[in-house]
Structure 1
């Protein structure tokens, strides 16, 4: 039986999006081209332009739904869940090309005329929710502002992963996160809470 036209179209779009992510990850926005993406996806020009009208629209599609590219699920809560999430994202940056390309494009978006902090704000909101949970569990010091720290943490994480990418292609990112938390936790967490925290040995297990 022939595959339904709509289902084929969905699969073609996903194939193009994944190929675009690979090219953007390898070459950056400036070094990518529609022809490279078409060759990687093995689609015709008509198939490409049916789904995406330009390289810019492809970049925006890869960038648009960053959190949809990761699937994080653990039974921990509060600060421990936040710690686990940061290590899980490190693993995703090492292994998930869709997420990695989206992160690269968020940094390079000025190259395609964009200035959109949505991807960053989504992580601020995610971190903020976990920090509010930590507050309700009595894990945070009294003078910690959850919203402010969420912004600081997203900024710190962004810088650390960029530095790690330049230094080691993110091989050393987990070790850098251990150092980040070793200095940050005393500034935000109660001594009682800090005594319970651990760093995940195998971030792979955190995948949903």
Structure 2
């Protein structure tokens, strides 16, 4: 059992190191040696767990999906749209420190890779569709909102805004920029009385983590 636990920790350490390397260099410029050196391991130890850079990168990329199943959706809210805001601000907060998520996000927008980048996007879109559908059933949305279109716009806009924050400020203001995005989007989606009840503060994700709710 101790050996199995050690193997799990080693694999996780490789993934976290890979996340940092891919976040910094992208798929094309990253080297396997960069990863195992950052993880403080030998080449042999790396290849015991992963057979190629592509396999490693795909697992880092797919980590978005596994992370979503871990902390999304959050606990139920009285206002369903708050769950969309919660998830977005939580991810924005995690982007300030989570190397694995940073690497996954970088790989998802890296057009120079050979990876299947559709799965994490599809998972995010499906989550948005599910929450928006229930919000619509509860009467939280303005008339005429197209659920599928809105879900894709939210995911696409989040991707673009976080990328802009990375380019412009190294993501130091990503939480503020994502909060700005969701204030604009929710104002165009929610009925006024629902919009007035939403908490779209930049520090929301940090508070959720501190409260143990994510």
TM score, norm. by length of structure 1 = 0.90
2:36 maps to 1:35: no
TM score, norm. by length of structure 2 = 0.87
Task: Compute the displacement of 1:32 (Å).
Answer: 1.6
RMSD: 1.8
Question: Matched residues in 2 for 1:15 and 1:203: separation?
Answer: 25
Q: Which residue matches 1:6?
A: 4
2:90 to 83, 88, 91: 88
Relative distance call for 1:101 and 1:185 in structure 2 (3 A) is same
Q: Is the 8 A contact 1:74 1:206 kept in 2?
A: no
**Based on CA coordinates, which of the two structures has the bigger radius of gyration?**
1
2:48 to 47, 50, 59: 50
Q: Which residue matches 1:154?
A: 155
Q: Which residue matches 2:174?
A: 173
Question: Matched residues in 2 for 1:95 and 1:194: separation?
Answer: 30
Q: Is the partner of 2:95 in helix, strand or coil?
A: helix
Task: Compute the displacement of 1:174 (Å).
Answer: 2.5
Question: Matched residues in 1 for 2:157 and 2:125: separation?
Answer: 12
- Deviating 4+ runs (over 6 angstroms): none
Q: Which residue matches 1:61?
A: 59
Question: Matched residues in 2 for 1:182 and 1:38: separation?
Answer: 42
Q: Which runs of 5+ in 2 are unaligned?
A: none
Q: Which runs of 5+ in 1 are unaligned?
A: none
Q: Is the 8 A contact 1:13 1:51 kept in 2?
A: yes
Aligned residues: 205
Relative distance call for 1:22 and 1:116 in structure 2 (3 A) is closer
Question: Matched residues in 1 for 2:165 and 2:57: separation?
Answer: 23
Question: Matched residues in 1 for 2:132 and 2:142: separation?
Answer: 11
Task: Compute the displacement of 1:106 (Å).
Answer: 0.8
Question: Matched residues in 1 for 2:198 and 2:43: separation?
Answer: 52
User: 1:13-61: per-residue Cα shift (whole Å, max 9, x none)?
Assistant: 1111111112112222222211111111122222111111111111111
